[in-house]
Amino acid sequence: RLENLTKVFVEKKQKETIAVNDMTLTIPSGKLIGLLGPSGCGKSTTLFMISGLLKPTSGKIFFGNDDVTKLAAEKRGIGLVFQNYALYPHMTVQQNIMFPLENLNVKRDEAIERTYDMAKLVGIEELLDRKPGQLSGGQQQRVAIARALVKKPRVLLLDEPLSNLDARLRLQTREEIKRIQRETGITTIFVTHDQEEAMSISDEIVVMNYGVTQQMGEPQKVYTNP
């Protein structure tokens, strides 16, 4: 739940940009929510504040009843996937997926098992010994999703995860994301500027513009003004 969330960027003490403007929003748990809006409307800024990578100027963020506004990103229990995957090129797929578990008190055997389970969930269990450079874009994005899920986060945040993929892989990967969300039941926020993509993947769509929520509802019930 976002409560009066606001982010103002100040550049060189002169220009102010109100990226997110007093946004109040309750996101249903266990669903796949599409956060849709034109470029520059504040989607990434919202996602970065939810993740804890960016501090709000004012307002609050709750996960369930927990106020996480002041919690560090690592302590929020979120999984993040960006459009450019950000995999470690020198590590294998297995090492990439396992990496978030290294600083936790997870025994090696269990880490390997959880890594395998996640790889299987996203359908890349045959590719664990490869390096990212030996994978297609769609496969790399699945690795990124497995890595985001291995810590069993409460919320999965996907920032334009399909935009670097070609048309065919985009369709295929979005079906995969939908399936993974259904199988795990994890609350997922999927940021996109692509209306068709949002309509096809989301249980509910939040339409954003100029830093505020314009509408929220099931895809068929949301009408957007391009």
Residue (40 or 123) nearer to ligand ADP, CB: 40
> Measured from the CB of residue 41, what is the shortest distance to ligand ADP in angstroms?
4
> Measured from the CB of residue 15, what is the shortest distance to ligand ADP in angstroms?
8
Residue (141 or 181) nearer to ligand ADP, CB: 141
Residue (101 or 207) nearer to ligand ADP, CB: 207
> Measured from the CB of residue 23, what is the shortest distance to ligand ADP in angstroms?
11
Residue (137 or 219) nearer to ligand ADP, CB: 137
**Alpha-carbon distance 43 to 1, whole Å?**
15
Are the CB atoms for 25 and 216 separated by under 8 Å?
A: yes
> Measured from the CB of residue 178, what is the shortest distance to ligand ADP in angstroms?
18
Residue (76 or 159) nearer to ligand ADP, CB: 159
Residue (95 or 184) nearer to ligand ADP, CB: 95
> Measured from the CB of residue 39, what is the shortest distance to ligand ADP in angstroms?
4
Instruction: Give the residues lining the site for ligand ADP (CB under 6 A).
Output: 9, 11, 17, 19, 37, 39-45, 134-136, 138-139, 169
What kind and span of H or E run contains 180? helix 167-184
**Alpha-carbon distance 119 to 96, whole Å?**
11
Are the CB atoms for 150 and 97 separated by under 8 Å?
A: yes
> Measured from the CB of residue 17, what is the shortest distance to ligand ADP in angstroms?
5
**Alpha-carbon distance 166 to 154, whole Å?**
30
> Measured from the CB of residue 128, what is the shortest distance to ligand ADP in angstroms?
12
Are the CB atoms for 157 and 189 separated by under 8 Å?
A: yes
**Alpha-carbon distance 40 to 210, whole Å?**
8
Residue (37 or 79) nearer to ligand ADP, CB: 37
